[in-house]
Amino acid sequence: MKQLFLSLTLAAATLSGGHAFAQAPDQADEIIRGHYQALLTDCAACHTKAGAKPLSGGAPLHTPFGDLIPPNITPDRETGIGKWTKEEFRSALKQGVGHDGKRLYPAMPYPAYTKMSDQDVDDLWSYIQTVEPVSNAVEANQLPFPFNIRLSMLGWNMLNFTPGEFKPDPAKSPEWNRGAYIVEGAGHCGTCHTPKNLTGADKDGVTLQGASLQGWYAPNITGNTHIGVGSWSDEEIVQYLKTGQNSHSIASGPMREAVQESTSMLSDADLKAIAVYIKSVDGGPSDKPKAVAADDPHMKAGGMIYHDTCSACHGLEGKGAKQLFPALAGSPLVQQPSAETLTHLVLYGSQGATTAAAPTTPSMPALGWRLNDQQVADVLTYIRNSWGNAAAAVAPADVKDKR
């Protein structure tokens, strides 16, 4: 069996342009496990720019404090991490301190990766050694003063960072604990989906309850039945993570990348574990707010725009078309506290994820060229408060900001 693993590893490394091959079956096991860890940690989504060689450096991450560029993490000795030791790599992921003691910014989610086991991190290191080294110098720190001073991370860590591996809860099932390990650790779901405090760290007590992210809103993914995924079945969550779509939603923005580069290639057992865990997370009150009245002038105007512009795909009753146009009625995404993602979709459109299980990518056309700010606000207000939905009205000023 190990000889088969070795053959598969050599083939995979060759196909990916790898340069370092396993020298023994045990090392082959490490590399194969490490490749899976690379999928779990979603390295490619940040560290691979569109059209570039794998892990050679990513597109800018726009943070409230300025831009950071995910660095080259190929084994190139001059511009990548080829001079790093395994111990330095482990320290970077679990302590936020990399080569030569350089402190990392938490955009590299070491506050989550610290929960990974040493074995999983070491396996990931073994896999990265097989990636083709690429000469691509990246100036990662493009933050303005004083945020560009890496020593400031000492204070940040004192306030916000608690190192330590994940500890299973003996009162929970192995499946729940596996899901918690992935979501809280390698999968670092809270990095996007947990609201942040003024220092950019996760807020306490609101884990996975939704947060703004680079012009999108990463929605509530807790057991909340109104704005979370509490009303989704485990199978529906697995389907979404595997294909980027289900009858409730279609992945867009950063989540589209996460599905394509990570979750679509995870095992069904791990996806089910994720579903079990996130549905158990307290997402706050599930009570609906009072819906905007149907006779409100903006609801009436939005209804006419919806009928003319949206109903052909999403239906007059907002029921959509399964796996092609998502349902708007009862949609948690539609009813989030922030309409940021919806506004982005209406203004600029979106392309769904393409995955092995669902290669056809649904798309949403851009409508910003023909709808003004008031019209976009009205139609979104209508969608967020029709067919049993209830959410805050959208203001034209919010749409203007998104433009």
The candidate with the shortest Cα–Cα distance to 386, out of 278, 270, 304, is 304
Separation CA 207–CA 186 (nearest Å): 16
In Å, how far from its chain's centre is CA 320? 24
The 10 Å Cβ neighbour count of residue 308 is: 10
pLDDT at 25: 60
pLDDT at 45: 87
pLDDT at 288: 86
pLDDT at 67: 84
pLDDT at 51: 86
pLDDT at 23: 57
How does DSSP assign 244-282, residue by residue?
A: SB-SS-B--HHHHHHHHHTGGGS-HHHHHHHHHHHHHS-
Query: Residue 186 has what DSSP assignment?
Result: I
How does DSSP assign 16-34, residue by residue?
A: TT-----SSHHHHHHHHHH
pLDDT at 24: 59
Amino acid at 329: A
pLDDT at 398: 93
Q: What six digits make up the tokens of 222?
A: 């807790």
Instruction: Give all domains of the chain, ordered by start, each with its CATH number.
Output: 2-160 (no CATH), 174-280 (1.10.760), 297-402 (1.10.760.10)
Separation CA 38–CA 124 (nearest Å): 6
Helix (H, G, I), strand (E, B) or coil at 206: coil
How does DSSP assign 344-396, residue by residue?
A: HHHHH-EE----SS--S--EE---TTTS-HHHHHHHHHHHHTSTT---PPPPH
Q: What average pLDDT values come out for the chain (403 residues) when binned by 10 residues?
A: 41 44 70 95 90 88 83 93 95 92 88 96 96 89 75 87 95 98 96 92 94 90 94 95 90 91 95 98 89 95 95 91 84 94 94 79 89 97 96 95 88
Q: What six digits make up the tokens of 360?
A: 């056809």
pLDDT at 6: 41
Separation CA 329–CA 318 (nearest Å): 5
Helix (H, G, I), strand (E, B) or coil at 67: strand
